[in-house]
Structure 1
Amino acid sequence: MKTKIKKTIALAGLLGIVSIHANASVYNFVNLIDTNNGSITGTLGNGSAFSGNPGEAGFQTFDWTVGGLTLTATGSTVTGGAFAYLDSGNAGLGVCKVLTANNQCTPSSDDNVTINEVLDLHFDKLAEIDFNQVVFRDANHKIINPNIEISVNGGGFSALNLTSVQQGTDFAFRTLNQANQFYISVLSADEVTVSTPGTLVLLALGLVGLSVTRRKHYIV
């Protein structure tokens, strides 16, 4: 039995860390914009500080905290700055290059993510996204499965597998095809916490103890 305990502890040490998921944080941008359900903070396109429900507007950056997990959204282009844009009418989050003084996109058709634009979502904690649960919409606000690219934690861009599950703190999105303009309408992210080796050892000892109890129960 001592040997078994030692092996179990050694295994826990080799494992090092494990991921433990908290409850999902759901960022429903359509509800945020169209139904006044939710509150964000940030800096509007014209430089004004903002706190509250935004409706339709463009932001230099904004933060949205749901379930203890904070998402920060920004927009950019390959040549410089742009704005994270919250578009109404059952659309969602996109990018706009030029805003009016009232923080509205001009032209209004440039309010999603198009060629040469990048939408960046940063989380304040390690997060896991199941892209099978993400809702994307096209330029006509219809739900689609877009052919787009993703960069995780500053890595190179690659085709996004819409059935993939990915972990990180920074997720950047772009399209290389005008036919694949998109908004993100709904995004669900799980906060990922990391247990220490000491926690795993305690867990391993508990499992060994349970095993011993079960063996005694069946010995006659």
Structure 2
Amino acid sequence: MFPMRLLTIVLLNFKGRKNGVTAPAVRGTRPAGFGYEGSVTLKAVIVRDVVDFGGGGASNIPFAAATEVSAILAGRPEEGAMGFGLAGGSGMGMPPIVDLLASSGLIPSQPTSRKLARGSDGRNDGEVVMGGVNPAEFIPQSMVTVRNLDPIHWQVKVAVASIGNVHVINTSRLGYIDTGASYFLMSFADVLCYTHSFPAQ
């Protein structure tokens, strides 16, 4: 058994050559196809391989690996993508990666925390921590509990909305978060609040 530790993945703006790894599909499993926004498609199989997480922690774990991807995804500079499935299992019928890591003893528990880098400061310091939180980045006073509406939607209370140091909306609202949303929807009245604070140049 390896000593349990928090697993921190630093999100860097890395561009370079992709590495290829060949691992056979797990016997008895079937490939599956998936479709995403922007006409992105892929086919994946379940493979099993030894994954080294550093610090002496390596585990022979199963995971899904893409065998075919659409051209728009194949042309991306990233080395790969790690998906965080729902607690009830993924489209491949496997437990989420954090459950696998916790059950293998590589991380102490399932909580996952994320820090998004700010493009304006150029620090490029985003990270994902599996098994807990990074105390240097986590502010306990800011923690809130949000309501699950269903497996992929959450309801949050928004006290105020600001951009930079400018308060755009000063009265409370209810917001709804979608795990895959890439845009904001708001009422016409809230749009007017924004355009009043930031008129078109």
TM-score by length of 2: 0.23
Higher CA-based Rg: 1
Which protein has the bigger strand share? Answer: 1
TM-score by length of 1: 0.22
Which protein has the bigger helix share? Answer: 1
